[in-house]
């Protein structure tokens, strides 16, 4: 059975997590595992995750970190665990249903032919929440599909996408220790390195719905920081070529 591991970072997702876990385990993917990386959420998400893990023995793991340490480092921690556990496909997504689990079987299936499959808001057929005002939409489109893409010369249209399926060897080749970003710009850094290393990306259209429960941890400060850090990422990785893929590992360097 193919090991497909979904990694979800959580911070105050107590109301979303049980329904999300249920929705994931209800998919017709018997090899699906779930790793939650919780940063000591004050609302008790970590304890809820432990209870769910006890209800799904062998299929769900919880990593507890001591405090809020950022989305990027949460993903790296989760990815490393997934690789160490032998995952062949690693799915990353939010806990809040902005990324609908029903896309996962298609993403995994397409990942047989691509190195990474991205749930994209900006390819034909992709859609943002209908409740967004036109200016919010315009700003998001400009930031993702224009600003970041132009600076980095990315092919992917959704440069900050957070819903992806990685092939095991893609994450190993990227070499997770190469990633510096801790915040939301993590998504951009991963996309950029992946393209520079010559990995093939497929974007499939998704409908991105705003969270209905809980609060977004994204604010204007984070957006501005991300916009500025795009330049840093462009500079840092400017010389990467497919020859710079990390060598595929011995068991030890995987852990």
Ligand X SMILES: Nc1nc2c(ncn2[C@@H]2O[C@H](COP(=O)(O)OP(=O)(O)O)[C@@H](O)[C@H]2O)c(=O)[nH]1
In the region spanning residues 136 to 175, those forming contacts with Mg ion, defined by CB under 5 A, are none
Stretch of 10-18, 149-157, 168-176, 228-236 lying at the interface with ligand X (CB under 6 A): 10-18
Q: Does 96 bind Mg ion (CB under 5 A)?
A: yes
Q: How many residues does the chain have?
A: 255
Which residues from 117-176 bind ligand X, rule CB under 6 A?
A: none
**216: contact with ligand X by CB under 6 A:** yes
Distance CA 215, CA 229 (A): 24
* 97, two tokens: 């249903």
- Given candidates 109, 112, 150, 218, which one binds ligand X under the rule CB under 6 A? 218
Cα 97 from Cα 71, distance rounded (Å): 16
Name 164's Cβ contacts closer than 8 Å, sequence gap at least 6.
91, 92, 107, 116, 117, 118, 119, 190
Give, for 150, the enclosing helix (H) or strand (E).
helix 148-152
Rounded to a whole number of angstroms, the minimum distance from the CB of residue 196 to ligand X is 25
126 binds, among ligand X, Mg ion, none (CB under 5 to 8 A by kind): none
Under the binding rule (CB under 6 A), the answer on residue 70 touching ligand X is yes
Neighbours of 155 (CB within 10 A): 12
Which partner, Mg ion, ligand X, none, binds residue 60 by CB below 5 to 8 Å per kind? none
Using CB under 6 A, list all residues that contact ligand X.
Answer: 8-11, 13, 37-39, 68-71, 74, 94-96, 98, 211, 216-218
């Amino acid at each position: 059975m193919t090991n497909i591991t979904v990694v979800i970072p959580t911070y105050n997702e107590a109301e979303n997590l049980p329904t999300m876990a249920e929705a994931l385990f209800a998919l017709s993917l018997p090899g699906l595992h779930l790793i939650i990386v919780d940063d000591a959420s004050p609302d008790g998400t970590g304890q809820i995750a432990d209870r769910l893990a006890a209800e799904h023995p062998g299929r769900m793991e919880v990593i507890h970190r001591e405090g809020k340490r950022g989305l990027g480092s949460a993903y790296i921690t989760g990815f490393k665990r997934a690789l160490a556990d032998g995952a062949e496909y690693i799915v990353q997504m939010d806990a809040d249903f902005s990324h609908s689990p029903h896309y996962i079987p298609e993403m995994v299936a397409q990942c047989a032919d691509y190195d990474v499959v991205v749930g994209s808001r900006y390819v034909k057929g992709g859609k943002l929440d209908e409740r967004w005002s036109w200016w919010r939409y315009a700003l998001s489109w400009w930031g993702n599909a224009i600003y970041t893409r132009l600076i980095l010369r990315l092919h992917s249209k959704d440069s900050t996408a957070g819903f992806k399926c990685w092939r095991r060897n893609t994450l190993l080749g990227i070499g997770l220790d190469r990633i510096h970003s801790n915040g939301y710009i993590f998504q951009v850094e991963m996309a950029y390195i992946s393209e520079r290393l010559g990995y093939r990306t497929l974007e499939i259209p998704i409908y991105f719905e705003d969270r209905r429960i809980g609060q977004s941890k994204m604010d204007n400060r984070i957006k501005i920081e991300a916009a500025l850090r795009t330049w840093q990422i462009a500079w840092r990785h400017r010389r990467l070529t497919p020859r710079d893929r990390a060598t595929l590992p011995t068991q030890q360097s995987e852990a």
